[in-house]
A and B are shown apart, each in its own frame.
Chain A
Amino acid sequence: MDIQLLFSGVIFGLSLASIYFLISIGLSLCFGLMRIISLDQLLYYSIGAYITYSVVTVSNNFWLGIIAGVMVGGLVAFIVERLIFRRIYERELTFSMITSFGILLGGIGIIKAIWGVIPRPIKPPFANQIDLLGTDVPAYRILVIAIAGLVYIGIWLFLNKTIIGKAIRAGIEDMNHVEGLGINASRLFTITFVLAGALSALGGGLYAPLIMVDPSMGLEILAFVFMVVIIGGLGSIKGTLISSIIVGQVVSIGSLIYAPLAIMAPFAMMLIILLIKPTGLYGNKLNK
């Protein structure tokens, strides 16, 4: 295969991985700390995209749109956490799955009501190509990858160098002990949930110029995000990063070779990994 084509496929895959990563961290953290499956993260992803779209349409400033998207996404996540998830933390996993799916569907309905069903395009902030290793790659995709990289570093610093981050890591191990020390558990949960929502919204805003913004965008990406999360193992940040990169590459390079591979290959990979390790690459057994 043409080296240049392969290289741009790699870049494409990494930009996909960046978006998957931003949504998947939220899912992973929410599971690790609160033992819930938060399918509604896909809603905050959609909200991030739509708010970015609206702000860009009005102000023509893409970065203002992103900031607005992140803030609104985080805000909606906050409201949902306080109103709904707060009541269901102690229940079994299927409970949060169904409830969060209901929130996702309801949210899609609200999006439809406000923005209508027609897909909408957003122009990327800059359309240049830059020359990387002899290939022309869209500069915007490189930026997306860079931002995701910064987010990873930021999350790492947060979890390892701040006291709240350490409390979250401790809570992922054993929430009862954290409470027993006197740390406010519900505040910890809210912080984590809002962080997850904000990151998902960031993913949506960044991805919006690369695809069309439409009400079911959350559902379309759902299967891929979940393959990432399952392969990486729910609850592991490192696992999420690695499996995002893997799935991103498989989808991208796969579609270069033979289009249907884009979806078959990650699925086959997921099944094989699950056969060997039913909790994913870095996943842990559920210990409640």
Chain B
Amino acid sequence: MLNAWRWWRGIIIAFSLVAIGRLFLPLPFVNEVLIFSIYTIGCNFLLGRVGFISFGQPAYLAIGAYGTAFYLFYFGTNPYIGILAGVTAGFIFALIVAPLFVRLRSDYFALVNLALAVIIFYMMQKVLVKITKGDNGLWFLTNITSTPILDLTKPSDFFIFALLIAIVLWAFYKYVDGTIFGACCLATKINETKFQFLGYSNFRIRLMAFVIANTSTALAGCLYAVYLGSVSPEITSPSRTADPIVVTILGGVGTLFGPLVGTIAYTGLRDVISKMIGNWELFIGFILVFIMLTNSSGLYGGAENALNKWLEKARVSNLNKKKPK
């Protein structure tokens, strides 16, 4: 019983704080925070555990978003099925591109994904304009039916839904991290030759990690679609490509709650900074370079390190007190 509590402790505390925040902060803000952090955790997993950076996360976001959008615009009205459709689309898409992408060296991987994001943007904007309605976007808010228990058209109900999804997703990632698979991901990042010599396949581990990470990214897209009630190519515009990376670094690469903390900081700062300075790129660029150069572990990572150091100090001084004189 105690072990289960310990395992769940962090997640429960974190999301309870978010739930409490709902009472003080504007609802759109907390909803945005939830969806965006789901968007980011995939990127965080890829970079922090597998060592791959992707400049093209908007591509997978868009696949999920448009998957849900197509369903709700053309076929049905149930938002849950819409989300399922989008996630399935994301999963299949990730599965298709994975075998090629995952073979690439880390820099090629990053840039190929960037090119992919640009392609998807272009496709949604121009090539498939007949079904996507291009820049006008697909609007289907009125299509979504109210479902029993939780009516996803209501932002307050949506919040509860998103919160539950987030808790499940975080638990999933935490679980994965603790499995052999999670250890393997880290191993391929640290020393891929040695990993091979141990008899594992770098390729297969990376493939699975890629599909997992980008399916959860697609899930974020589906949530955006249902929440906003519309989808336009802007969601995958190349200028948004930096967002998940910045948030990942800001929060702390490879930490479980980095995406959450990073998103809160990023989204909060964005509104504040835009009003004050108005020059968003300068601020972001400076933050990125600063974090990289100072080797910091990001907001959450740094806090985690500081907390651990403090706990360690406390434990050592306790031990010293107990030593017989």
Which residues does A use to contact B, with CB under 8 Å? 31, 37, 84, 87-88, 92-95, 97-99, 101-110, 112-113, 215-216, 219-220, 222-223, 226-227, 229-230, 234, 259-260, 263-264, 267, 270-271, 274-275, 278-280, 286
Contacts and interface: CB of A to CB of B under 8 A. Distances in A.
Nearest to A229: B111
A264 B119 contact: yes
Given A99-B288, A99-B292, A104-B285, 19 more contacts: A37-B110, A87-B293, A93-B106, A93-B107, A94-B53, A97-B107, A98-B288, A102-B292, A105-B242, A105-B282, A105-B288, A112-B282, A113-B279, A230-B112, A260-B126, A260-B127, A264-B123, A274-B103, A275-B100
Interface string B41-59: 0000001000111010000
Given A106-B285, A112-B279, A278 B108 contact: yes
A106 B245 contact: no
Interface residues of B, number: 42
Interface of B: 47, 51-53, 55, 100, 103-108, 110-112, 114-116, 118-119, 122-123, 126-127, 238-239, 242, 245, 249, 279-289, 292-293
Given A108-B285, A264-B119, A278-B104, A101 B245 contact: yes
Given A101-B245, A259-B126, A278-B105, A108 B114 contact: no
A216 B239 contact: yes
Give 3 nearest A-B pairs by CB, closest first: A106-B285, A109-B282, A102-B288
A88 B238 CA distance: 27
B60 to A, nearest CB: 16
Contacts of B284: 102, 105-106, 109
Nearest to A106: B285
Given A104-B285, A223-B114, A98 B105 contact: no
Contacts of B289: 84, 99, 102-103, 106
A278 B280 CA distance: 36
Contacts of A109: 279-285
A99 B105 CA distance: 18
Given A94-B110, A105-B281, A260-B127, A219 B238 contact: yes
B111 A226 contact: yes
A94 B51 contact: yes
A102 B25 CA distance: 30
B288 A101 contact: yes
7 contacts: A37-B107, A102-B285, A108-B285, A215-B281, A230-B108, A263-B118, A271-B100
Q: Which of A223, A270, A271, A278 has the most CB of B within 10 A?
A: A223
Contacts of A280: 108
Contacts of A264: 119, 122-123, 127
B298 to A, nearest CB: 12
Contacts of B285: 102-109
